[in-house]
Amino acid sequence: MSKKKRFEVQINETINDCLERMKKEGYTPIKRMEKPVFKEIKVNGQMSYEPVSQQIIFEAIQLEG
């Protein structure tokens, strides 16, 4: 049975840094997910949402061996 784990690209690291971290822990990526991050702003009394960043998450499985 393969063990799955999720790895999030941290604010201070690149995608390659995250992939290297996965490899060091013995995992390989099988899926990449991206989620937009919004902030609420009030314009003329109306709530509005503005995109501020993007969260990248890798789903990985443990390597055999």
Rounded distance, CA 9 to CA 52, Å?
A: 16
Tokens standing for 12? 């201070």
DSSP-based three-state secondary structure for 20: helix
Rounded distance, CA 59 to CA 30, Å?
A: 6
What pLDDT shows up at residue 57?
97
The verdict on pTM exceeding 0.85 is: no
In the chain, where are the structural domains located? 4-62
Beta bridge partners of 27: 62
Rounded distance, CA 7 to CA 56, Å?
A: 9
In tens digits, the chain (65 residues) has pLDDT values of 468 999 999 999 999 999 999 999 999 999 999 999 999 999 888 999 999 999 999 999 998 86
What pLDDT shows up at residue 65?
63
